[in-house]
Structure 1
Amino acid sequence: MRLKINFSIDKPVNLTFNYQYLLSSWVYKIIYKGNSRLGKWLHEKGCLFKGKNYKPILFSNVFFDESKVVKSPKHSCLQVDKGGYFYFDSFRKDICYALMEGTWQKEKVILNDKEFVITSVEIVKDPHWNSPFKAKTLGPICAPYVSNNKLQYSNPLESKFYDVIRNNLLNWYEIIYRKPSELKKDDIKITIDQSFNFKKAEKLIDFKGKKIKGYQFKFTLDAPSEVLEVAYRAGLGSYGSQGFGMVSEIGEC
């Protein structure tokens, strides 16, 4: 179930480029406010799968009506104004309803000391799950892997990038449908758009002191309809609950 959270800004505000942790914290707090039992489960546990806890929430970048980079000798920031919105998704509707309930009780998006008044929360109509699915990223896709005991980040020009995406998709498939997938590697094909520009696509995010590298681009996903929905609900790659990997059909947003 996908939601669009709209908010207004009454005067220009300076905001850090790396707001993902701030938004993630706000999301958890609002879900807890809407349903404390569910919020506690989400924060402390989530979906246990193969010894790991998967958090079934996903949110996008924030899209502002007006924004510009403000540079200074010490540090640069993003100046935003007028209003903005972001998307939230989960395959668990009770989590989405908890978020909606929380926003009705706490009618502001709060990012550190910056407060934006929520004007509406919309339920976004699902796209048709038809393959090929022409899509774009609403948040950077991150495809990490461990090599020689070190965390590495693959990029869209490497086959490893797509292997990580496929493996994560199949993990979420099993979590959501509660059964193993019989799909093979070749059953899920991801083709980046010809407009891909490596420098423009690459994003380096500081998430509470951790540097996370991801990529934003247009692409085509060829896969069975149920896998398309998994990609839409859980995102592509890793760190979906931290603001990475959300996608939408081109023309939807």
Structure 2
Amino acid sequence: MRLEVNFRCSKGTAINFNYNHHLSNIIAESTEKVAFSSDEQKPQSLHTFSQLYLKDYSISGGKMISGSEQIQWYISSPDHSFLETIVKGLTICGYVYLGDTLLEFTQARLLEHPYFYDEMDFTCMSPITIAHAAGGGKEQYSSIDGEFFGENLRQDLIRKYYIINKSFPKDENLSFYFDSKYMQKKSRPSRLINYDGKKIMGYMIPFKVKGSKELIEIGYHAGFGNKNDCGFGMVKVWHNTRG
């Protein structure tokens, strides 16, 4: 399931580029608000979210300066009730803080999900990252040119599938083909996100995926790669190759 969230801000509002942790906080605060008001346990679910989409903006002093009042944001999760809780929480709050920036919540709507084929093309709505433990308790981020980048994405989707369904998919085959022409055109295809003081490297690159429709669907709803709940790995359909 996928949620489109709409905010209103004043023209000229300045937004720092490193806002991922603020968006994570908005999700946490929204679910906490519902849990507090209804005396229910705070819901937990696999989820991911996109970067912010401003209808018009300029860049000044390392910040985005909004040229309009409209901001869109997308949240995705295989759990429909989790998204409903976020909408309830945002409705209760009315306003949210993106760091020091005040945004007014105006509306949200559930989007129809696409039909999934065994071969599809996606573009990124937030960077895809693959992390693994390195020495000294640090994390090391895999290069998209590395031998195991695609395989690690596949293994991660199998793990997510098992968490959701308590079983393994019938078809575990999946191959990734990242757009080499796009990478050649971009001088810096990677993105380095400062997540509340922690640097996370990811990639915003179109790609084709072939194989298990079950795993492709999990990637669409829960995110591809790691750190999805920090705003990594969200994609949208570029076109259905067999549609």
Same fold by TM-score greater than 0.5: yes
Q: Partner amino acid for 1:10? A: S
Cα gap change, 1:129 to 1:195, in 2 (>3 Å): same
Q: Is the 8 A contact 2:120 2:239 kept in 1?
A: no
- Shift of the alpha carbon at 1:62? 0.6
Gap regions ≥5 residues in structure 1: 43-54
- Shift of the alpha carbon at 1:182? 5.0
Distance in 2 between residues matched to 1:115 and 1:251, nearest whole Å: 36
Could you say which residue in structure 2 is the equivalent of 1:188?
Answer: 174
SS at match of 2:78: coil
Could you say which residue in structure 1 is the equivalent of 2:160?
Answer: 172
Distance in 2 between residues matched to 1:164 and 1:35, nearest whole Å: 35
Q: Is the 8 A contact 1:196 1:218 kept in 2?
A: yes
Distance in 1 between residues matched to 2:239 and 2:96, nearest whole Å: 26
Could you say which residue in structure 2 is the equivalent of 1:88?
Answer: 75
Matching of residues 1-253 of structure 1 within 5 Å: 1-36=1-36, 40-42=42-44, 55-71=45-61, 76-82=62-68, 83-149=70-136, 150-181=138-169, 183-184=171-172, 187-197=173-183, 199-250=187-238
Q: Is the 8 A contact 2:95 2:102 kept in 1?
A: yes
Distance in 1 between residues matched to 2:40 and 2:148, nearest whole Å: 35
Q: Is the 8 A contact 2:171 2:212 kept in 1?
A: no
SS at match of 2:12: strand
- Shift of the alpha carbon at 1:138? 0.6
- State, as a whole percentage, how many aligned pairs show the same letter: 24
Q: How many residues align?
A: 234
- Shift of the alpha carbon at 1:39? 6.1
Q: Partner amino acid for 1:196? A: Y
Q: Partner amino acid for 1:203? A: R
SS at match of 1:199: coil
Q: Is the 8 A contact 1:234 1:240 kept in 2?
A: yes
* Alpha-carbon RMSD: 2.0
Q: Partner amino acid for 2:175? A: K
Distance in 2 between residues matched to 1:41 and 1:96, nearest whole Å: 10
Please, which moves more after superposition, 169-178 or 195-204? Answer: 195-204
Could you say which residue in structure 2 is the equivalent of 1:46?
Answer: none
- Shift of the alpha carbon at 1:122? 1.2
Q: Is the 8 A contact 2:129 2:225 kept in 1?
A: yes
- Shift of the alpha carbon at 1:38? 6.1
Instruction: Map Cα deviations across residues 169-212 of structure 1 (whole Å, 9 max, x no partner).
Output: 1100101111134545xx10111124322534210011111110
Give the TM-score normalised by structure 1: 0.85
SS at match of 2:193: strand
